[in-house]
Chains A and B, each alone.
Chain A
Amino acid sequence: MNECLFCKIANGESPSFKLFEDEFVIAFLDLSPVNYGHTLVVPKEHVINIDSASEELLCTIMKSIKKVGFALKEGLRVEGYNILLNNDAVAGQVIPHIHFHVIPRTKEDKLRHWPQQRYGDGEIEETLRRMHSAFER
């Protein structure tokens, strides 16, 4: 039996506040919203994370995100939104079925970016070298 909550929502076994669905994607309200209208965009196929998602599926999800973002802006009259994907548990992914958060934003909300740091001497070059070496593998 499939225990994945998002699979159950996708196949209609569990209820959701659904914005829309098509053959591949379903979008519904997060019931613990960061802001009013916070939406999750989820492929119907059980795919754990971006690494196991095909490029084709990713592109399909992107189209849905754009559609959802438009509806959030127009429907809720907000000025912008964040698109957020937490990829794997260490990044805060709680449900292991890939999902993009689309979070409506207003100038008045108090949501701020994560703090930024500076690289020490030579650190940025070393970081870049290690990332380039991964591309070559």
Chain B
Amino acid sequence: MDCIFCKIILKGLPSHKVYEDDLIYAFLDILPISPGHTIVVPKNHASDVESVDADEFMAMSVAVKKIGKATMDGLGVKGYSVLLDNKSAANQHVPHVHFHVVPREEGDGLGRWPQGGYSDGEAEECLKMITSQL
């Protein structure tokens, strides 16, 4: 077992546990984007959104909600960002699917990624390519 998250969950590798239920384990990221930054993972190993069991993926979102509330109530922040990086191209570093819950504050300097636009006909073309798979 090479997965660091599985080692935390199954082998007792030390972690700062925030939350646990039957399906989910959540712990503080030790290199946080902001204090309280929490990683939320399914206990069963699944590398990405495509391979995680549907019920466990849903359970992850329910846990995110609970942890988000604890973040706001416990740390006194007024909001948080929820982020999942699916596959290494999307900056996923540990191949065990996980949500980040990142507490946010006014002026924290965490900017948005730059946004662009579509030129004439481009959005229609893009939509056609995507909906061909739905």
Contact = CB atoms under 8 A, between A and B. Distances in A.
B114 interface: yes
Interface residues of B, number: 73
| A interface residue count range (under 10 / 10 to 19 / 20 to 34 / 35 or more) | 35 or more
Nearest to B92: A80
A85 B84 CA distance: 9
A111 B70 contact: no
Contacts of B49: 65-66, 69, 83
Interface in A76-113: 76, 78-93, 103, 105-107, 111-113
Given A80-B88, A119-B35, 19 more contacts: A19-B130, A31-B117, A32-B117, A51-B65, A59-B62, A70-B133, A76-B130, A78-B89, A79-B89, A88-B104, A93-B79, A113-B85, A124-B28, A124-B30, A127-B35, A127-B36, A130-B75, A132-B74, A135-B66
Interface of B: 16, 18-19, 28-36, 38, 48-50, 54, 57-58, 60-62, 64-75, 77-92, 99, 102, 104-106, 110, 112-118, 123-124, 126-127, 129-134
Interface of A: 17-20, 29-34, 36-37, 39, 50-51, 53, 55, 58-59, 61-63, 65-67, 69-72, 74-76, 78-93, 103, 105-107, 111-119, 123-125, 127-128, 130-135, 137
